[in-house]
Structure 1
Amino acid sequence: MWMGIDLGTQSVRAVLAADDGEVLGSGSAPLTGRRAGVRHEQLPGDWWQAVCAASQRALKGGRRPRALAVCSTSGTVLLADPAGRPLSPALMYDDGRAASRGPGKAQWLLGEYGAGREVRVTHQADLIVTRLAGRPLPTDSSHALKTGYDPELGSFGGVGLPDEVLPEVVRPGTRLGEVGREAAQETGIPAGTRIVAGMTDGCAAQIAAGALTLGSWNSVLGTTLVLKGVTAEPLRDPAGVVYNHLSPDGSWLPGGASGVGGGALRAAFPDTDPAALDALARDLEPAGALAYPLGSRGERFPFLAPDATAFVLGEPASDADLWAALLQGVALTERLCLDYLDFLGAPSAGTLTFTGGAVRSAYWTGLRAAILGRTVQVPASSEPAFGMAVLAAYGAGAAPTLAATAARMVRPGQVIRPRGGGRFTEPYLTMVGELERRGWLPEPVAAHARARTERTT
């Protein structure tokens, strides 16, 4: 049995899976944070309490996993002391008080909380594995990527941070240590359970989807949108929009993270039944308005625009029309993300999978497939925590490669074929033009999107 733990924005999720991928136990616990303008923080102590609660529920009945791995949100960092105890709040992935890419958040934290202290830059997952082991453990190259770690060079070269504050880095899938007795009492995870170096939540969802062959892509849609693929070499992007994670087996996992997603829907309709609005949205294709549904200020993919903001073109005729515009806006952005990857020369002939909370909406899943014009697979278990269970199995030696481990554990799910997406061509081209007009989308990228649309329409 293998365990995965996912530290999300709104909750912690723990999953226990068998060798054949059957989910034997699961548990979750909510998380809250502090948002105020560009500020978005969480308290690291809350993560641990949620991990304890979720793990206890997943292991109910005395089940004993052989190994575990932990994923967390990409770009969430804090400062800790040399023993791994937190010294600052955690700046979440979308906190805007410092540069959102590279080591900017770590530099901001050092200025605010690091003066006169011996500190270590710590990622969200690092804090939890350190607490599980009862001693500081290395970070992995996936979580360290947004802090400026270069997996090709194998170092933090040129990030402008003192060497003494930077963590040791290992490849995902590396055995880090074992769960200690104190953590075992709090979490219910047996002492001696192996701890395997994890990856970020986007990579974890990609593993859960089994999207690990060259040219395959996984689209994770939850609060935000993340696309991850597989290439033999890093995907070069002079604009810095696409980043490359190093896979445990040595291949590369390029991708990008957009700010559009379910967060914008929740903000617009905090107390509404999504299923009821989905039913009304079926008759509004395309919607009477065009939305670019960012959840917060700034965009990172398919273009880099720190000052980008959400917008709606046109006047929605009703709440249902606005809901339809938001659903369609996310899918249109997803299409532009795939066009941008094609612009960079990324292979895309492999399978396209959908994971994330949005797959619970059958209507939205079908709408996205229609707008993308692609056949889509939705795996049976798509959550990042399950992906970490797969990685834990690989790291403990259950199979020789990560792809082979996933092939054994990931269960096939539903296949969605596109249905008449041509009616969304005009809204797509309108969105491309508007993003270009605002100066956010570079002209060569917009031209490529138009040309690709013309070829495929």
Structure 2
Amino acid sequence: MAQEAWLGIDLGTQSVRALAVSGDGRVLGGGTAPLEGRRDGPRHEQEPGEWWDAVCTASRAALTSAEDVRLAGLAVCGTSGTVLLTDPAGRPLGPALMYDDGRAWAEAERLRSAGFAVQHTWGLPKALWLARTHGRTHGHGTVTHQPDLITARLVGHPVPTDSSHALKTGYDVAAEAWPDLPGALELPDVVRPGTQLGEVCAAAAEATGIPAGTTVIAGMTDGCAAQLASGALREGSWNSVLGTTLVLKGATAAPVHDPTGVVYNHRAPDGSWLPGGASSVGAGVLTAAFAGADPAAMDEQAAAHEPAGAITYPLVSPGERFPFLAPQATALVLGEPAGEADLWAALLQGVAFAERLCLDYLHHLGAPLDGPLTFTGGGARSPYWNQLRADVLGRPARVPEQTEPALGMAALAAHGVTGEALPDVAERMVRIRTVMAPRPDRTAVFAEPYARLVDELTTRGWLPGPVAAHALSRLSLDTADS
């Protein structure tokens, strides 16, 4: 008999990934298709039509490689803060502004002056920018998030957006309503993640290979999807997603209040909270500094440089969003690296220091940190970096077998169709590969360079003094201690 399976689709920056997953977490089939974008200074756009073409390719490949399965449901995640305008039929009126497009700076400044806790690359300022710059040409279309375009194509008509993607467009996830927002924006209806949106229509089935009648479930952002893929859904547990940049997301019974907006709170399908933040440090600095390098070979050489001769705060692009808000921040290097291996080590350690500072900031805000910590993202493929991060943080970390956001969407699809509690579904589908235990002697070695970095960030005016003092006061503790 055909095996029941769930399809997760992840709309990434560089590709679309689709996974067919069994109820116990076995990946039965997978497919991927590349995406291209246009970057020019602060501009970062993609053509929405290419998303659909890539979904068709990736989904067909995933289902072709998954033999004898009965697809019971699917969900789609996308990059957080990516927005576009669509007409009443759901067709794009122009290109999409990607998650890190920085052209809506003036709109963000006006929003912040008016009391809105938004960051400069969030969806709301970009929606206002689109309405202002493209509205005269294309008309004032409906504000649409990346996955909405795909789910609408799948079911054959426009659908509500999910509250996870709507968060950065100004949606009030506590009141579950749009507040009074400036500008003449046409805003979509909103539902919680896990809500059934409809069924795959015949035309979409022919294009994607997904059987007609398959239930389509409202998804979440890629960061939340990665959190689901980590199983970090019990209170006090956290997921650290290390990809091009670094994202930390946790699970709490109540929202974590941060008046600066550095930490924001998504809402889980059951009404609990998923606080977190997105940093601009990450593995992207390795690609930029060491194009074509063999990461495993560089990791092996870096092991001889603990601590490195230089201290870094390795921003992938100018400006920092978490654990502090500093739009003027730039990549930082203290000292002179003693060769390429030492620089590689300094960059790995710098990301780990930023990760520790993120956890220290969350503790400063009163967030519970006493649950398990899970590493996901492309960076989690490096055993050396995983151990280094556990050492710097001074706490154990779990690494699942499968770290892709598409797995999280498969779990959300199962929840949305069956009604089973999402933490239970995720824990059954997430398979832990290994647990990294911190080495106390190595944790001690990194305390001094971490303290130097905290001092430097404070001196430059990027890191607030009270946050720095709190971080330094916790140097003798691991980042799970209360």
Look up the equivalent residue of 1:274 and give its one-letter code: P
Are 1:10 and 2:14 an aligned pair? yes
Please tell me the residue identity of whatever aligns with 1:363: Y
> In the alignment, is residue 159 of structure 1 matched against residue 181 of structure 2?
yes
Tell me which moved more, 68-77 or 317-326: 317-326
Give the SS at the match of 1:145. Answer: helix
Counterpart of 2:87, as a letter, is D
Partners in 2 of 1:110 and 1:189 — Cα distance?
A: 35
Q: Kindly indicate whether residue 93 of structure 2 is the aligned counterpart of residue 71 of structure 1.
A: no
SS at 1:199 equivalent: coil
- Summarize deviations over 1:385-440 as a string: whole Å, max 9, x none: 0000000000001x521011112222222111012221111111111111111111
In the alignment, the residues of structure 1 paired with residue 88 and residue 311 of structure 2 have an alpha-carbon distance, to the nearest angstrom, of: 50
What does 1:270-285 align with in structure 2 at a 5 Å threshold?
270-285=291-306
Paired amino acid for 1:376: A
Q: Counterpart in 1 of 2:426?
A: 406
Moved more, 113-122 or 412-421: 113-122
Per-residue deviation, residues 204-234 of structure 1 (Å, max 9, x unmatched): 1111111110100010110111101011111
Alpha-carbon distance in structure 2 between the residues aligned to 1:33 and 1:112: 20
TM-superposition CA deviations, 1:2-24 (whole Å, max 9, x none):
11000111111100011111111
1:125 to 147, 150, 155: 147
Give the corresponding residue for 2:172.
Answer: 150
- For residues 135 and 288 of structure 2, the distance between their equivalents in structure 1, rounded to whole angstroms, comes to 34
Aligned to 1:186: 207
Following TM superposition, by how much is the alpha carbon of 1:54 offset from its aligned partner in structure 2, in angstroms?
0.7
**Mapped partners of 2:83, 2:69: distance in 1:** 32
**Residues 352-393 of structure 1 deviation map (CA, whole Å, 9 limit, x = unaligned):** 001111111111111111100110111122210000000000
Identify which range, 340-349 or 23-32, moves more after superposition: 23-32
Report the Cα offset of residue 48 of structure 1.
1.1
Write the letter of the residue equivalent to 1:366.
Q
C-alpha contact 1:64 1:189 (8 A) present in aligned 2: no
Q: For 1:213, which of 209, 220, 234 is the aligned residue?
A: 234
Which amino acid is 1:245 matched to? H
Question: Are 1:377 and 1:415, in contact at CA under 8 Å, matched by a contact in 2?
Answer: yes
Name which of structure 1's ranges 83-92 and 332-341 shifts more when overlaid on structure 2: 83-92
- Cα deviation, residue 454, structure 1: 3.9
Which of 285, 288, 292 matches 1:267?
Answer: 288
Moved over 2 A (4+): 61-64, 454-457
Q: 2:470 and 2:74 mapped to 1: Cα distance?
A: 43
Is residue 46–residue 95 contact of structure 2 (8 Å, CA) maintained in 1?
yes
- Check if 1:448 corresponds to 2:452: no
Matches within 5 A, 1:25-424: 25-60=29-64, 61=67, 63-98=69-104, 99-101=120-122, 103-115=124-136, 117-162=139-184, 165-397=186-418, 399-419=419-439, 420-424=442-446
User: CA 1:161 to 1:177, structure 2 compared with 1: closer, same or farther past 3 Å?
Assistant: farther
For these two proteins, the number of residue pairs brought into alignment is 455
CA–CA separation in structure 2 for the residues paired with 1:45 and 1:172:
24
Contact 2:76-2:218 within 8 A present in 1 as well: yes
Letter in 2 for 1:70: V
Aligned-pair CA distance for 1:260: 0.6
Residue 62 (structure 1) shift: 6.5
Q: Deviations along 1:166-200, whole A, 9 cap, x unmatched?
A: 01100000000111111111111111111000000
- In the superposition, the TM-score normalised over structure 1's length comes to 0.97
SS at match of 2:31: strand
The offset of 1:102, in angstroms, is: 5.5
Which amino acid in 2 is paired with 1:410? V
| Cα RMSD (Å) | 1.4
Q: Which amino acid aligns with 1:383?
A: E
1:180 partner amino acid: C
- What residue ranges of structure 1 are gaps of 5+ in the alignment? none
Post-superposition offset of 1:455: 4.5
Deviations 1:249-274 (A, max 9, x none): 11100000001111121111122111
Aligned residue for 1:316, secondary structure, equals: coil
In structure 1, C-alpha distance between the alignment counterparts of 2:265 and 2:289, rounded to whole Å: 33
Tell me which amino acid in the other structure corresponds to 1:304.
L
